[in-house]
Every structure is written in C-alpha cells, then in structure tokens.
Structure 1
C-alpha cells in the first residue's frame, strides 16, 4: 500500500519544490566556489539536487560550528516550551562580545555562544544528543555540553546540512537528497520533525536577522529576501585553521531553494556567506 502520509507531505511541498526550468544553478555554484577547496550544495524543497560541487567533500562528516546552534535553540524551545519572548543575559564569557540582555532570535542572528552554552547546560547532554541525531548530525564524540555550540566532536556533512536547511524552510520535512550523481533518484522522506510551528518561526526569524544585521550581514545587500546561518569550526587536520559554513534558503517568505556552503580554509564568516550570496542572487534574479 502506498505511504499516504508521504504522498500528502510530498504534495504539500510540490508547488515550491522545483525552481524555474533551465536555471543553471550548477554552473553558478561552481563559479561561486571557484578555486577554493570545499563543497557547495543546492537543494529543492523536496531534497532534489539542483547543484552539487565536490561530491566527495559534500558527503564528508565535519565539525559544524555555530550552524548547530539552530538545533540547540529548537531543542530548548521544544523541551522548555518557550518562544521568542524568552530572554537570557550574555556577559561576554565564551562569546565574541558581551551582548547583554538578548532573546533567542537575536542570539541566533549574533551567534551568541554564551547563550547557547546556557541553553545546553539547561537541556543536558542526552536531550541535545537526541535532537542532533533527529536532524542528521552524528553524535558528539565528547560527552560534554560544547556540542550546544557545534563543538565536542559533533559532525555533519554539507549534504546533510543542506537537507536540514530544507526542513527549516519547508515546515519541518526532512528529505534525503536525491538526483544528480547521487545513488538516490527519488524523493524520500526521512522524517517529519515534530516541532511546534512557533519553534520553526523563531529559527527562521533568527536566520533572517542574521542576514539583515547579524553575522552574515556584510555579505548581503540590505533587504535581501534570504534566511541564513553562519558557522566556523576548527579543522580536523589543522586545529589552527577553520572550516567556514553557511546554510540558508530563499526566498525567505516562500522558499524554493536551500544552499549549504563549506570552505575548508576560511578566515571568517563572510567567505562562505559570499559564495552563497552569488548563488542566491543568480536564482532570485531569474525568478523575478
């Protein structure tokens, strides 16, 4: 018997699943990554691969850094039944600046590590691990709360992170990427995240604020209809050098594509964000 639940979910994302015919996102993605070592993935809202640069690296599980804060925020909102009006206080310890009184939307936009260490401590290791596994992350190697900020041996591949971005964009439906050079040739629902709509709304709001005035704002033109999250993490082979991450989707209000960028040797947030901007700009220009 056909899986009626899957058919219903697939139908619910079908209208936004396929971007304009003939749009050469693969070429744009290759130009955006240029000669830099890394990976760039573009997915439709049902997980279809629209562009995949450096397939091998795209499937390698790597430390995610601050992009994992999206999961920590979701876990806290779900487990503690709080929303955007929940405030914390950042004194700057373990963070790049003292943010003072800060809500969850701004904490995501500013990537406030102090906030997420507090959330992780409140949740505990087992709760965090459950939410990370649910969203495609490999369990942290070190049993400590640094995974709340994407450290502690937590891993995910660029391809799986792009799939997570799709779920954030399409209402919580986590699809296995398919098409292109991948073995999977048909859409397959991994799971529907049982998160409250409010939780997804807060995550999306934080990602939109990250673009307009947060950690990604220098890479994007004001008013850009994109939602995104940046991250950096120490490289496995060279701890003094960093992976640079960006994941996001566009248009922010009615998503059609999700993008994940990984750079193997990034000096800050803006490099991965800038590569993603080129893909989004090309897509949005041709969608008008």
Structure 2
C-alpha cells in the first residue's frame, strides 16, 4: 500500500517541468511532498508492526534528497549573489591603492629687491639749515635708510645767509624736483655758515680737497657712505629746475 501511495506523488513530481518553480525553492517543495507522503503512509492501514520503519519509504526518501542535492548546488553556483561584484572589486582595489602624497616645496621664493619706486617717497626737508641739528646723526640716519630702500644720500652743505643756497632751496620746493628727491634720495641739509666746528669737519670728511668752498656744496654718497660726486670739485650745476633736475637724475642710480 505504501508503494501505491508514493507512485502518484513521484509521478506528479516528474511530470512537473523544472521551470515551473525557481531552483531556489525546488528543495522545499520536494521535501514537503516527501513529508506529506510519509504522513499518508503513517495514517493508512499497514501490515508492519507499530514502531518499525518502512524500508521502502525510507530508501525512496533518501533517493529523492540525494537527487536534489546537485540541483541545489548548481543553483547556488549560478546565483549572481555568490560571485563578487566587479564594481565592488574595483572599488576595493581603488581604496587599497596608496594615495600619492603631495610634496610640499620647502624652498622659499626669493624676495624681490626693494627699489626706490616701490617704496614710499622719502621726506624732503624744507628750506634753510638747522644750526642746532647734529649733522653726524643726520647722516647716519640717512645712510641707514638708504641701505633699507636702495636710495642715494644727498648732502647739502650751506648757510642760511647764502643767496645761492636760497636759490637751490626754491628749486627743491618745486613739485617735479621734490618728486625726484623723494623717489631717489635722502636729503640731508647741514649748516656750515655758523661756528659749528663739527659740521665743518663733516664737510672736509666728504670733500677733502679743501680750499674755498662755494656754497651750496652738493655731495652724493651711496648707502655705504662712498662719495659718488662732489660739486666742490666738479662745480655746481645751474641752480635752475632744469640744471638741478638733470644733476639729480644723473646720480640717482
């Protein structure tokens, strides 16, 4: 009787096409059918002693499970989720690749040399000479400023009672001449018309040729204090805007 009950179940299973259900659910369906067949056999009349297992039913159930095992394995191998995703693999390789470190340049760019045109105009003193000023301190300050900005130093030795000195002061006050002085020179005015022996010594230091000095004495020195031109030796330029401006431009650099 057990054999007659199992035949329709197996026959129905064989007649069902494999494409009727996805491979992933075939194993549960067949297992359910086997369990149902076992239940029918247990509930129907049997000549076997109670408690003994039917050899035929157990053997057929084992055969059914063994036959489905390769199909389940093939379904697992063919499943797309079982293989690694190419995009995920590429992402993992990209994340594992070392990121090139940015090299930082440690060399500092050279600072451009300061020029007189890039600096603020130097202060241009007003007309006249301050007899109480310390000429040496004035020169030292002008030389220090010249080292910082690259300008020249113009020493103007004169006196307040000197007519030529007053004429030169009028030209220095003109806008064009003031602009040239402010851009290229540090002007120092030193009084030699009084009784200052220190200021007279400064004149002889920068104009050692001696003799009678014709004022104003205009001496151009660089930031190291080296004399570039001395009008006591060369003679004064014309004390006009054209003459003084030409003199200043000539010795500005």
Q: Which has the higher strand share?
A: 1
Do both proteins adopt the same fold according to a TM-score greater than 0.5, normalized to the shorter chain? no
Q: Which has the higher helix share?
A: 2
Interval of TM-score (by shorter of Structure 1 and Structure 2): under 0.3
